[in-house]
Structure 1
Amino acid sequence: MHFQLDDQTREFRAAVRAHLDEVITPEFEERIYRSGVAHDDDFARGLVAKDMFAPDGRPLHRQVLQDELMYSDAPVYLSETTRMVAAVIDKAGSPELKQKIIPKAMAAELTIALGFTEPECGSDVAAAKTRAVRCGDDWIINGSKMFTTNGHIADYVFLLARTNPDKPKHKGLTMFLVPLDAPGVEAQAVWTLSGERTNITFYSDVRVGDEYRIGGVDEGWSVLHLALEDEHASGWGPHIARLLDHAERWARETTDAAGSPRIDDPDVRRRLARVAIELEVSTLLQRRCVWMAEQGRAPIAEGPMSKLYSTEALVRAAQDINELVGPDALRSRLEPTAPEEGRFEYLMRFSLGTTIYAGTSEVQRNIIAQRGLGLPR
């Protein structure tokens, strides 16, 4: 097992970087940042045109693409959830739903948000109380979902609903693809610490046809796991790489009271080295997941290891660099006097949320303990 990129993969990465450098202009970046919405239709369709939206081929190519998009802070979160749900539909959806959704999803012509978490359930997704009741050939859905990011602009939501309250909580759930323009759907903005807009979504007597059900009735937990395995295998190392690059540039261009570059200070170099080590470990953990995928093996525990380590490493690195830079690091994005255009302050705020996205650190530790180490619940 080795993790070096071959010539073909390096060429693909260079092509991705060139495209992103062309389209992610300072004006584009500022507009996305001010909106708090990590999606842009034209940007997504530009990736499709370059065969960089959902490229076929080796898992390592797909991972390199994700790394470059993440490093550039590209507005792709809604595109990623759309691809993820399309893959689930491909495995568990009806032929009619596959035909209706997958081609348009892969062409960036429709978008799909996630509707798992509920206001009173926290990380216990299986405790969902949103109800779906059969009514002839339709289902009537009532309830609410928290953190439905992009739910105010997406076309559909991949919704977990309880269809049998008499069964154990993991057994009475069903997955639906709910059109977000259906009568009875409402999205209200919720702003995160990083300035991102997410939503609480409400479903009041929302009627959807049975053709929008994904998987069997009361078999939603197994369908949901197809999506969660993908989410849990995420790696956040590229954000550490971006932070490290900004910190190194700051250290080279900033001088101390004696006029010496800050990078000559042993303490500065020590802190940068710590961040570089965190980045290397995060990268290797993520590439192990890619290697397993190439071998046809599911990274059941290894995916959560990658997600857990890289997000907590990002928090540690952001704290370390903010302490290094000092009070100036607290100057925010778009503040003209902020070092590195306020990236240090922003990445500190952003890092804290990553330990919650795609399952909290506590959830990841439970998965590693139970499914990786075989420990009891």
Structure 2
Amino acid sequence: MHFRLDPNTEAYRDEVHAHLEQVLTPEFEERVYRSGVAHDHDFALGLVDKGYFAPNWPEEFGGQNRNAWDDQVLKEQMMLFDAPVYLSETTRMVASIIRHIGTPALQERILAGALRGDVTIALGFSEPECGSDVAAATTRAVREGDTWVINGSKMFTTNGHIADYIFLLARTAPDKPKHKGLTMFLVPCATEGFEAQAVWTLSGERTNITFFSDVRVGDEWRVGDVDGGWQVLGLSLQDEHASGWGPHLARLLQHTESWATTTTLPDGSKPMDNPDVRRRISRAAMENEVSMLLQRRCVWMAEQGQIPIAEGPMSKVFSTEALERASQDIVEMVGPDGLRSYLEPTAPERGRFDHTLRFSLGTTIYAGTSEVQRTIIAQRGLGLPR
């Protein structure tokens, strides 16, 4: 078994890299960061035009029938460049679920628009009082004939203020065990009673708390069976749990090596001359290699028709914690200058050290905390009791 890329995939990776290098200018990067929104409509349309939105989808749905490795290197390049693709990713994730289990009417309504970049979908899973225990959702959906009336709130609904739809987890049977009384809906954000309020994160990103006050949606917006929402949710969480965050660490390494080889210290030496600097960089580079291999193992398994049930969380928990460790270590190594603000012209590497440190702290929470990931590994990977 090896995870080397074949020449065609390497060529595709280089093509994507060249596109991102051209369009993600410093001015674009600064504008997106200052907006706090990890989405840019024109950039997303550019991905569609280039065929980079859903390249592994069948051609009849607007894809290119590319293999899992091409899809993987595309994701790696997007992370490496810190491209504003989170809303595109959540849209593609939900569209994939609708493609597999949605009704023909819902597929017709959503899929073509999603693949053109005209339809966007945010995730409405977490709640203010539930944290990572999304199955403890209390947002209610009560059926009245062919209509559902939804009341409740969701936390961390990133891009919920600009999305067209919220992929919402709601409780439809409060008398059933918490995992068995949930249903998934696709809620149009233009529906009366929906509201999104800004919540700003440590990394400068805008997320939202969203409110659903007597929001009424027809049964045609239900995704999956009534009270079968946990199974539908599992399809999306499986993809999220198998995420790898190594490219963020790779980008941090690029900036660190640049700083260490171009900065001149008061005694005339370069930081890279210091054995301690080389040791810290080497340690981060080794963890980056492990992160990449863990993620590529998930891709290999998927290509073999296997589901990376425990291997996905292993990739996620290791790569995010490695990013957090390296960020803290490198800021300590750079010293006080490493905490100067992101995009400040006089900051080392335009403040990437400060920003990556702040950003890294959230990655161990996204898509389930490290504790959740370790629980999945223990129970479903090692067969340990609850």
Q: What range is the shorter-chain TM-score in? A: over 0.9
Q: Normalized against structure 1, the TM-score is what?
A: 0.99
Query: Offset of 1:256 from its aligned partner?
Result: 2.6
Which consecutive unaligned segments of at least 5 residues does structure 2 have? 57-65
3-state DSSP of counterpart to 2:217: strand
Query: Offset of 1:91 from its aligned partner?
Result: 1.6
Contact (CA 8 Å) 2:343, 2:352: kept in 1 or not? no
Work out whether 1:180 is the aligned partner of 2:167. Answer: no
Q: Which residue of 96, 99, 112 maps to 1:103? A: 112
Letter in 1 for 2:204: G
Letter in 2 for 1:197: R
Structure 1: which 4+ aligned runs deviate by more than 4 Å?
A: none
| Equivalent residues in 2 for 1:143-158, closer than 5 Å | 143-158=152-167
Match for residue 365 of structure 1? 374
Match for residue 62 of structure 2? none
Query: Offset of 1:150 from its aligned partner?
Result: 0.2
Match for residue 77 of structure 1? 86
Match for residue 287 of structure 1? 296
Work out whether 1:17 is the aligned partner of 2:26. Answer: no
3-state DSSP of counterpart to 1:90: helix
Letter in 2 for 1:99: E
Work out whether 1:330 is the aligned partner of 2:339. Answer: yes
Work out whether 1:226 is the aligned partner of 2:201. Answer: no
| Equivalent residues in 2 for 1:196-215, closer than 5 Å | 196-215=205-224
Distance 2:211 2:194 in 1: 6
Cα displacement string for residues 293-322 of structure 1 (whole angstroms, at most 9, x for unaligned residues): 110101000000000000000000001110
Match for residue 59 of structure 2? none
Match for residue 318 of structure 1? 327
Total equivalences in the alignment: 377
3-state DSSP of counterpart to 1:235: coil
Query: Offset of 1:107 from its aligned partner?
Result: 1.2
Contact (CA 8 Å) 2:39, 2:87: kept in 1 or not? yes
Letter in 2 for 1:44: A
Query: Offset of 1:255 from its aligned partner?
Result: 2.2
Distance 1:286 1:122 in 2: 26
Deviates more, 1:332-341 or 1:69-78: 332-341
3-state DSSP of counterpart to 2:10: helix
Query: Offset of 1:94 from its aligned partner?
Result: 0.8
Which consecutive unaligned segments of at least 5 residues does structure 1 have? none
Match for residue 32 of structure 1? 32
Distance 1:197 1:258 in 2: 43
Match for residue 237 of structure 1? 246
3-state DSSP of counterpart to 1:365: helix
3-state DSSP of counterpart to 1:74: coil
3-state DSSP of counterpart to 2:150: strand
Work out whether 1:351 is the aligned partner of 2:373. Answer: no
Match for residue 46 of structure 2? 46
3-state DSSP of counterpart to 1:323: helix
3-state DSSP of counterpart to 1:216: coil
Cα displacement string for residues 265-324 of structure 1 (whole angstroms, at most 9, x for unaligned residues): 111100000010010000000000000011010100000000000000000000111011
Query: Offset of 1:257 from its aligned partner?
Result: 2.8
Distance 2:263 2:17 in 1: 28
Distance 1:256 1:13 in 2: 37
Distance 2:345 2:104 in 1: 54
Letter in 1 for 2:154: K
Distance 1:181 1:232 in 2: 30
Query: Offset of 1:142 from its aligned partner?
Result: 0.3
3-state DSSP of counterpart to 2:157: coil
Query: Offset of 1:336 from its aligned partner?
Result: 2.1
Distance 1:249 1:149 in 2: 33
3-state DSSP of counterpart to 2:366: coil
Contact (CA 8 Å) 2:79, 2:247: kept in 1 or not? yes
Cα displacement string for residues 163-211 of structure 1 (whole angstroms, at most 9, x for unaligned residues): 0001000000000000011000000000000000000000000000100
Letter in 1 for 2:175: D
3-state DSSP of counterpart to 1:75: coil
Query: Offset of 1:258 from its aligned partner?
Result: 1.9
Distance 2:310 2:112 in 1: 32
3-state DSSP of counterpart to 1:224: helix
Distance 1:257 1:339 in 2: 16
Cα displacement string for residues 66-95 of structure 1 (whole angstroms, at most 9, x for unaligned residues): 000011010000000000000111122111
Q: Which residue of 136, 142, 156 maps to 1:127? A: 136
Match for residue 60 of structure 2? none
Match for residue 175 of structure 2? 166
Letter in 2 for 1:114: L
Distance 1:12 1:120 in 2: 44
Work out whether 1:68 is the aligned partner of 2:74. Answer: no
**Percent identity (aligned):** 72
Query: Offset of 1:40 from its aligned partner?
Result: 0.7
Match for residue 260 of structure 2? 251
Distance 1:129 1:92 in 2: 25
3-state DSSP of counterpart to 2:238: helix
Distance 1:134 1:261 in 2: 68
